[in-house]
Amino acid sequence: MKGNILGDIRAENDISMLEMTFWQTTDYKALLESYDRPIVVGRRGTGKSALVHMLSKHWEKKAKTRVLVITPVEEQIIGLRDVLKLFGDNYLHIKAGSKLAWRYALYMEVIVDLANHYKLKNFIDTKSIEKHLTSWGAKRQNITSKIRKKLLNIIENEKGNRTPESRIADLSDEFELELLEEVILEAMNESGYQVVIFSDKLDEGYTPDNMGVAIVDGFVQSIIDIKHSLEEKVVAFAFIRDNIYRAISKNDPDFTRNIEGQTLRLHWDEYNLFNLVCNRLRAAFNSTIENNTRVWNAHTADALRAREGFRIALKLTLYRPRDILVLLNDAFLRAGTQNRDTIIYDDIDCTAKQISNNRLNDLLKEYETVFPALDVFTSCFKNTKPEMFVSEAETLIENQLDSLQSISKLTAQDIILSDEPKQVIQRLYSIGFIGVYNQSSSSFVFCHDGKEPDRDFLPSTKILLHPCYWLALGITNQEIKLEQAEDIHDEYDIEVSAVDSEFRSKRIGALMAELNSIPEGHIGASDFESWTKRALTLLFATDLENLELHPNKNNLQQRDIVATNLGSTPLWKRILDDYNSRQIIFEVKNYKDLTSSDYRQANTYLSKEYGRMAFIVCRDINNNLSKHKELNWVRELYNDHNKLIIKISSKFLEKQLSKMRSPQKHDELSKEISKLLDQYIRMWLPNKCKA
């Protein structure tokens, strides 16, 4: 049996099946009949590329009509970002420059198409626009490449230093947009032709930052401008993903006035999806049955029969063509492996669980570098209810963290940096794992750009686990309804944004900055002890266990910080074996110059489980021992008592924290301490001392 018996889920790979089985929805018919809403918005998998293909075929058949399909190229969009930086970092400036550039590019694509047509070239006033035609480039080149080169050429010919504002102001004159409009309109009026432009895949090379959003916003605005400027002699449509549209609505202050009323949002319901599936079943199985229910029943069994059976399958999706086709393709493939030509409920159920597991695994893999503890945090919600209050989620997270065992150091550090359940919830929201209930829209809002949320998470705030992960988490007693599904924006080709990538760096940076605000001496002693404990907990995550501040505060001997040495790494196994130190002492001194009393005090703490080694953390600028003081005291304790006291400066810890901002350097400190230990043994302690 074919792997995708009902067709490929990507329209561009499914042309024959698409053309044979295309279901004409109300949205499709609306786009045929009216140019009022040139911006077509849809969630991923709602058939935008399929619409572009079928609409372009429809207009190609019309007399005196030219059709252009515009699709930007990822690598050229990335290159365009670099050029548009010359318009500054103000969103409105980038959008304005982008709009002018795209409008020029679309005009030139129309002119080049007309100039290459054996009839229409006679209606083009090529002399008046000769310099534009000469510099624009061949028809076969991608539009993004050509506009990028055009902008670079303009910038190279600039005289003197130009501000972003002056560049934008001069672009319209440089592009001569009014002249190009005049040439196009004259050609269209004289020839009686119409040009229809379809712009698809505007998410190519898209990044959810100000620059990325402004580039697409500029394109959308240029499409709307064409509608008003070229009097329907040139008609343009832009098909964009819902997540990008929402980003534009958030960033563009003119969104309501300029864009909102120009938008057609794609909707799918049970009726339309059933017709789409039945059309594909007829084509896949060469069926001549006309009645849709009978077609469905011919290829299903038991609980899946009739419209009620289709509803069962549909409730395992987010009510989109792509979802139901993936589900049924895999279900038929499973049935084929068991020599069946009909699918049963078990086929649907197993397939849906596998799809959900794949989605969750994709999420974990996508974020494994910048969110190492994601697997731990998502596991908190296994076998729970999908809808809950923030307070309930916080309890689940706390319970999970209390029972953690056998995790990597990188994961442990990520958990420490997410130092409270509320922050974990915020991070899970930022990557689309959970949604937050919006009172004004009465729906759950999901975010997928990785940015820090701009909303507060109160204990009474309602959240929803994303339905695509329910089955992977063992949530099987819940169903998603159509109205809920349409409010879920499942952009599962996840963009790991710079903001999310910098979470680790920002949190560690905040800890480093805190050190510099702590005054030396008695007044800052308590704060420095607390800071040292948090720094050591982070740096020695999984190496040392149960770090405790003043564990014996009521005793005569009050040790500052004590941790249990698990002996789980080469460094700490060496310290356990050579110095019998199961309990590790860190004495904390909030001043630079240590005294002999500090060393003798540390010495008195070393007995039994504490072994023969301790550390003193102080505010010195490095770990070096002063020649006639600290060096003598260390040697005295080592020679007379066979105990080793190692000095660690706060600057050294700060340096190790700085290195740790890069996940690749999460274990640098153990290597540095090991080197320091060798330095004591080989350089600072005389050879005659006992090992």
Q: Which domains does the chain have, with CATH numbers?
A: 38-265 (no CATH), 270-357 (no CATH), 367-495 (no CATH), 504-684 (3.40.91.30)
User: Which of 175-184, 198-207, 310-319, 481-490 is most confident?
Assistant: 175-184
* Mean of the per-residue pLDDT values of the chain: 88
Task: Please check the confidence at residue 159 and state whether its pLDDT lies above 80.
Answer: no
Amino acid residing at 399:
N
At 18-77, the pLDDT tens digits run: 999 999 999 999 999 989 999 999 888 899 999 999 999 999 999 999 999 999 888 888
For range 562-577, the mean pLDDT: 93
Nearest to 76 by CA among 147, 140, 138, 136: 147
Q: How much is the average pLDDT of 671-682?
A: 92
Tokens of 612: 């023969």
pLDDT at 677 over 70: yes
pLDDT digits (tens, 9 = 90+) for 346-365: 999 999 999 899 889 988 88
Per-residue DSSP letter, 200: -
10 Å CB burial of residue 29 (0-12, 13-18, 19+) is: exposed
Question: And the tokens for 570?
Answer: 């080469």
pLDDT, residue 305, reads 93
What are 425-428's contacts with CB under 8 Å, separation 24+? 425/390, 425/393, 425/394, 425/397, 425/457, 425/463, 426/452, 426/453, 426/457, 427/371, 427/377, 427/500, 427/503, 428/377, 428/378
Is 169 within 8 Å of 89 (Cβ atoms)? no
Average pLDDT over residues 130-145: 87
How much is the pLDDT for 483?
Answer: 64
- Two structure tokens written together for 563: 């941790």
Element (H, E) at 435: strand 434-438
Q: How high is the pLDDT of residue 493?
A: 39
Structure confidence by residue, pLDDT tens digits, 390-421: 999 999 998 877 766 678 888 888 888 887 89
**Per-residue pLDDT at 574 exceeds 50:** yes
E strands, 127-266, where?
Answer: 194-199, 234-241, 263-265
Q: Sort strands 194-199 and 387-389 into parallel, antiparallel or unpaired.
A: unpaired
What are the tens digits of pLDDT across the range 169-225? Answer: 888 888 999 999 999 999 999 999 999 999 998 888 888 788 989 999 999 999 999
Query: For position 130, what pLDDT does the model report?
Result: 92
The answer to whether 649 and 619 are in contact (CB under 8 A) is: yes
List, for residues 576-586, the tens digit of each pLDDT value.
999 999 999 99
Distant-in-sequence, close-in-space partners of 14: CB < 8 Å, separation ≥ 6? 7, 8, 50
What are the tokens at 322?
């792509």
DSSP3 helix / strand / coil % (the chain, rounded to 5)? 55, 10, 35
pLDDT digits (tens, 9 = 90+) for 212-240: 899 999 999 999 999 889 988 999 999 99
Residue tagged 């959003």 (tokens): 213
Transcribe 521-578 into DSSP letters. SGGGHHHHHHHHHHHHHHHTTTTEEEEEESTTTTSSS--SEEEEE---SHHHHHHHHH
Higher local confidence (pLDDT), 383 or 505: 383
pLDDT at 495: 44
Residue 518 has pLDDT above 90, yes or no: yes
The answer, yes or no, to whether residue 479 has pLDDT greater than 80, is no
- Whether the per-residue pLDDT at 499 is higher than 60: the answer is no
Quick one: pLDDT at residue 492?
42
Report the pLDDT value the prediction gives residue 21, as an integer from 0 to 100: 94
| Those residues with Cβ within 8 angstroms of residue 163's Cβ, 6 or more apart along the chain or in another chain | none
Cβ atoms 639, 689 nearer than 8 A? yes
Predicted confidence at residue 497, as pLDDT, reads: 44
* Banded model confidence at residue 557, pLDDT cuts 50, 70, 90: low
**Quick one: tokens of 382?**
């296994």
Distance CA 32, CA 25 (A): 11
Q: Is residue 500's pLDDT more than 80?
A: no
* Amino acid at the residue 263: T
Tell whether the model's pLDDT for residue 498 goes beyond 60. no
Q: How much is the average pLDDT of 497-501? A: 46
Residues in a beta bridge with 66: 195
Instruction: Give the closest residue to 589 by CA, choosing from 676, 648, 645.
Output: 648
Comparing 458 with 555, the larger pLDDT belongs to: 458
Exposure letters 573-601 (e unless 16+ CB within 10 A, then b): eebbeebebebbbbbbbbbeebeeebbeb
Q: Give the pLDDT of residue 455.
A: 66
